[in-house]
Amino acid sequence: MTRRAAPVLACVGLLAVWQIASLALESDSFPTALEAIRTIPDILGDKESLINILASLRRMAIGFGIAVLVSIPLGLSMGRSRAVAAFFNPLLMVIYPVPKAALMPIIMLWLGVGDITKTLVIFLGVSLPVIYHSFEGAKAVEEKMLWSGAAMGLSPLRRLVRIVLPAALPEILTGCRTGLVLALITMITSEMIARQSGAGNILFNALDMGQYDTVYAMIIIVGAMGICLDAVFERIRARLVRWSEPQFDMPLSFS
Amino acid sequence: MKVVPSRSSEWVRPVTSQRPASAIIEIDRVSQVFQTSTRKDHVALSDISLTIEEGAFVSILGPSGCGKSTLLYIVGGFVSPTRGTARMKGQPITGPGPDRGPVFQEFALFPWKTVLGNVMYGPRQQGVRATEAEAHSRMLIQMVGLKGYENFYPKELSGGMKQRVALARTLAYHPEVLLMDEPFGALDAHTRTRLQNDLLNIWERDRKTVLFVTHSVDEAVFLSDKVVMMSKSPGRIGEVIDIDLPRPRRRNELLLDPRYQKYVVEIERMFDESDEVGSAS
Amino acid sequence: MMPRSLSANLIFGLTPIILVIALWQGLVSLGFAPVVLLPPPGVVFGRLFQQLVTWTFQQEIAATLIRLFAGFAIAVVLGVSVGIAAAASPAINAVVRPIVRVLAPLPKVALYPALLLLLGFGHGSKITLVSADALFPILLSTYYGASTVEQKLIWSAMAAGTPRYDILFKVVLPAAMPSILTGCRIGLVISCIVVFLAEMITSTDGLGHALVTAARTFQAVDMFVPLITISLLGLILNALLGAVRSYLLRGFPEA
């Protein structure tokens, strides 16, 4: 029972610390936790804000979805075919350290401001970890399993889908989890850079207009989004790979 | 029992029946119960009582899983018994200490230290000055046959070499009792026999008390003065056999010695019997 | 396996970079991209060297580096100490675990507006953001490394006479070094990314700010220069950390 309650207690604890700190500091730019929480329904009730937030989620979903659909097959084939790996590896290795959201202005220059730009950046941000993990997962599939499959008469493509994919699934899903985290971060960041619509936009609009309560309330909303998405994904992931051993790769959080 | 002079006879304490055997370690009705993941209790050790005499080389012989390592860890102070006490020189054992030095099967060398660094660790911990500790360590490293390897890292050594370092490291802080947990179990047969020989040569110098855990009958007979047999599930003491073979023991001589062969055959028979009983229950 | 020599490492690391520059040049030369949107590498690098000797650009680099180092350093100190403390003490573990579970999936960049309000638009807000983002991978890696230290190592040290309180420094910390340094590497990459993004969102100086300024005036070349700079900085810092890692872990077997 305590294990489940602990994160909730942590939330409450953190909010309490916030409350006390803001009361102690008594600054206009640091509203109390309660004041921020009270503003949340206002934001969610406001039609325009809601549209913004939903737009953000939509972009994130599309970017994430397409990235996953493209990256998993790419990663898997890279894992099993040395030729494919050699072709794509150098390109990916260089793109990796570049902050995708930083490419925003450049992409904006090419494609203008708008949904496509933001979705593209999210797509790029998510693709990399998913490709990498699919690649690693596919590489690690035991040769003998594939030989058994070949002996049973499966074609290379079917082997990829029916053996490599399920075997590499735990690793792939770890990559997706990282991708999800990055999708959220990239989304917010790109909206903060190219302000036009979205949650990041609301944050900075409120900042510019001095609506400090809204700023903090929005932070709570975005935080909640992150936590919920992660929790939901974790659930799905645990379900799908119940049979696998616990993974520890990219330190995302305590499992 | 005759005194057999060894090469460095000034080091040898005569092990005769005239000298009163002083018990250095007493294990008094020790039991160890573990909780397994299925919430059931696993009785690793049940009511173990044993006395170890000073200067004796005692082997604890038993099949895998009989709790012999657990018993060793209790004497070492790494694990607290669920019931009963273990005592060292009359004082209850409450934790690890330099009076009982372990040598583990997995070597457990500090990977971030060189061979010299590893061996110097104990003395340095005890406040010995660096120059003294280094000289002492170098001597020990030479004694275990690794002269020239002082600045090597454990990863660069073979299994046998690592175990020699582990032995030197433990000896460096002058423990009164050596606790050896299947130390040669991870090594190939050839290295194992060589290290058995070397261990005896080193042991002959000052005849420390040794508690040696193994599942190999011939290893136990070759090395020890006494073989304590343990059965498993739950771990219990079975027979205790005195090995009355002269020292120093040399493998090529002992293998041809009918007394040695008798010991091995007898103990193997007892081993098999206890195994059958165990699996039948 | 013999460790790769320095020159081999260098070649291995430079190849992808050379490949990308070649690809870049190829795109431009073959006319796939108009010069106004994608200037050729030669022009960009030329501009880069031109800027490097100017005082203003050096100041931008300095500003970015100060924030980067300060933020990273705080994250390392905090992350390693809390990670080890949580591994050593069940009480601390019980408190830290749920807090990390709550805060880790939260996109720290969402806190940026609040940080701006509280700490102003200068160094403070950015350093704090960098620390917040780099903290978690370092903390989690440290915790993982410290809690999986081989039991027999600790026992050997205790038998040799090490007092309980000293075990943390004499055994746990050195034994956890490989994990800690892996976490630091991830933290360093994140620090580079975050400092750049934060400067892009709002700043008065720094490399990210330089990019945004150039974007506003549609200067493509001046946009690429800061981006390349931060990437190069990231590579250099990564290489330095790799060298430190090789030295500190010279006794450890290759993973």
- d(CA B253, nearest CA chain C) in Å: 35
The CATH number for A52's domain is: 1.10.3720.10
Q: Are B176 and B24 spatial neighbours (Cβ–Cβ below 8 Å)?
A: yes
Q: Distance (Å, rounded) from C-alpha B168 to C-alpha C224?
A: 60
**Does B232 fall in a domain?**
yes
DSSP 3-state of A113: coil
- Contact criterion met (CB below 8 Å) for B135 and B124: no
Residue B191 covered by a domain: yes
Q: Which DSSP letter does residue C32 get?
A: S
Across chain A, what does the average pLDDT equal?
A: 80
What's the domain count of chain B?
A: 2
Model pLDDT for residues A150-176, shown as the tens digit of each residue: 888 888 788 778 888 888 888 888 888
pLDDT tens-digit profile of A82-119? Answer: 888 877 877 777 676 666 666 777 777 677 767 888 88
pLDDT, position B10: 36
CATH number of the domain at C135, please: 1.10.3720.10
Report the candidate in C138, C134, C143, C166 with the shortest Cα–Cα distance to residue C92: C143
Strand-pair partners of B236: B231
Is residue C9, in this structure, part of any structural domain at all?
no
Q: For every residue of chain B, which 3-state class applies, written as one string?
A: CCCCCCCCHHHCCCCCCCCCCCEEEEEEEEEEEEECCCCCEEEEEEEEEEEEECCCEEEEECCCCCCHHHHHHHHHCCCCCCEEEEEECCEECCCCECCEEEECCCCCCCCCCCHHHHHHHHHHHCCCCHHHHHHHHHHHHHHCCCCCCCCCCHHHCCHHHHHHHHHHHHHHCCCCEEEEECCCCCCCHHHHHHHHHHHHHHHHHHCCEEEEEECCHHHHHHHCCEEEEEECCCEEEEEEEECCCCCCCCHHHHCCCHHHHHHHHHHHHHHHHHHHHHHHC
Among A162, A182, A170, residue whose Cα is nearest residue A238: A170
Backbone angle region of B77, left / alpha / beta, with phi > 0 → left and psi within -120 to 50 → alpha? left
Is C32 within the bounds of a domain?
Answer: no
Q: Note whether C159 contacts B106, CB cutoff 8 Å.
A: no
And the tokens for B102? Answer: 């372990």
* C254 against B127, higher pLDDT: B127
Task: Give the bridge partners for C188, in sequence order.
Answer: none
Which domain-ending residue is among B174, B197, B217?
B174
Residue C24 inside a domain? The answer is no
Give the gap in angstroms from C-alpha A9 to the nearest C-alpha of chain C.
8
The nearest CA of chain C is from the CA of B191 a distance in Å of 22
Q: Which of C153, C161, C253 minimises the CB distance to B108? A: C153
Which tokens belong to A165? 């994919």
Nearest one of A54, A34, C252 to B112, comparing CA atoms:
C252
Model pLDDT for residues C2-32, shown as the tens digit of each residue: 445 556 656 666 666 777 777 777 777 777 6
pTM: 0.82
Model pLDDT, residue B263: 92
- Quick one: pLDDT at residue B2? 36
CB atoms within 10 A of CB B79: 18
In 3D space, the residue among B214, B247, B109 whose CA is nearest the CA of residue B172 turns out to be B109
Helix, strand, coil % (nearest 5) of chain C? 80, 0, 20
Within-domain flag for A247: no
In angstroms, the CA A72 to CA A160 distance is 11
Domain membership of residue A25 (yes or no) is no
CA C128 – CA B76 distance, rounded (Å): 48
Least confident of A206-215, B3-12, B157-166: B3-12
Percentage of residues in chain C having pLDDT higher than 70: 90
Q: What is the mean pLDDT of residues C229-249?
A: 86
Distance (Å, rounded) from C-alpha C190 to C-alpha A187? 16
Domain region containing B254: 22-99+181-281
Average pLDDT taken over every residue of chain B: 85
Boundary (domain end) residue, out of B144, B174, B204: B174
Which region among A133-137, A234-238, B38-42, C55-59 has the lowest average model confidence (pLDDT)?
B38-42
Is the same domain home to B86 and B202?
yes
Distances, alpha carbon A104 to alpha carbons A173, B2, B182, C109, in Å: 27, 90, 62, 16
Q: How far apart are CA A167 and CA B75, in angstroms?
A: 46
C-beta atoms of A102 and C140 within 8 A: no
Q: How many domains does chain C have?
A: 1
Cβ partners under 8 Å of residue C222, min gap 6: C47, C210, C213, C214
Q: Which chains touch C (3 or more CB pairs under 8 A)?
A: A, B
Cα gap B57→C212, rounded to integer Å = 78
- φ/ψ of residue B28, rounded to 5: -120, 100
- Separation between Cα atoms, residue B64 and residue C138, nearest integer Å: 40
What percentage of chain B has pLDDT greater than the value 90? 52
In a domain, C98, yes or no: yes
Model confidence pLDDT, tens digit, residues B23-43:
788 888 888 888 777 777 788
Computed from CA positions of residues A169, A174, A177, A182, in that sequence, does the dihedral angle turn out positive or negative? negative
What is the number of domains present in chain A? 1
> Within this chain, do residues B134 and B162 fall inside the same structural domain, yes or no?
yes
Residue B276 domain-assigned? yes
* Assigned domain for B156 exists: yes
Q: Give yes or no: residues B93 and B185 share one domain.
A: yes
Rg over alpha carbons for chain C, rounded to the nearest Å, is 22
B168 plus B232 within the same structural domain = no
Residues of C in contact with A93 (CB under 8 A): 16
How many angstroms separate the CA atoms of B232 and B63, rounded? 7
Report pLDDT digits (tens) over B238-257.
Answer: 889 999 888 888 888 889 99
Closest-CA residue of chain A to C220: A106
Of all residues in chain C, the one with the smallest CA distance to B110 is: C153
Q: Residue B118: pLDDT band by 50, 70, 90 thresholds?
A: very high
Q: What CATH code is carried by the domain that includes residue B223?
A: 3.40.50.300
- Do the Cβ atoms of C232 and C65 come closer than 8 Å? no
Residue B8's pLDDT band (cuts 50, 70, 90): very low
Q: Mean per-residue pLDDT for B201-209? A: 90
Chain C hits for B173, Cβ within 8 Å: 160-161
Q: Quick check: is B52 in a domain? A: yes
CB contact (8 A) between residue C160 and residue B113 = no
Residue C253 forms part of a structural domain: no
The verdict on residue B225 lying in a domain is yes
Nearest to C253 among B95, B108, B155 (CB): B155
Q: What does the alpha-carbon distance between residue A52 and residue A44 come to, in Å, rounded to a whole number?
A: 10
Q: Does B136 lie in the same domain as B54?
A: no
- Does any domain span residue B3? no
List all chains that touch chain A, counting a touch as 3 or more CB pairs closer than 8 Å: C
Sign, CA dihedral A58-A60-A62-A64, equals: negative
Which phi and psi angles does A30 have, rounded to 5°?
Answer: -135, 75
Q: Which of B150, B174, B198 is the last residue of a domain?
A: B174
Do B140 and B270 share a structural domain? Answer: no
Q: Partners for B (CB, 8 Å, 3+ pairs)?
A: C
Q: Which domain holds residue A104?
A: 32-240
Q: Say whether pLDDT at B132 is over 90.
A: yes
Tell me how far apart the alpha carbons of residues B90 and B22 are, in angstroms, rounded to a whole number. 11
CA of A206: how far to CAs of A43, A215, A238, C20, in Å?
11, 6, 38, 41
Angle among Cα A104, A108, A111 to the nearest 5 degrees reads 130
Confidence grade of residue B144 (pLDDT, cut at 50, 70, 90): very high
Residues B266, B270, B273, B279: what is their CA dihedral angle, to the nearest 10 degrees?
-140
Average pLDDT, integer, range C195-204: 86
Cβ contact A129:A182 at 8 Å: yes
Residue A249 binned pLDDT confidence (cut-offs 50, 70, 90): very low
B45 shares a domain with B92? yes
Q: Is there a domain that residue B17 lies in?
A: no
Which residues on chain C are in Cβ contact (under 8 Å) with A192?
A: 109, 112, 201
CA distance B163 to B271: 27
> In which domain, by residue range, is C195 found?
48-248
Mutation site, C153, C156, C158, C246, interface B, largest B CB count within 10 A:
C156
Q: How many CB atoms lie within 10 A of CB A8?
A: 11
Q: What is the pLDDT of residue C81?
A: 94
- d(C-alpha C251, C-alpha B112), whole Å: 5
Q: Are B105 and B181 in contact (CB under 8 A)?
A: yes
DSSP C166: H
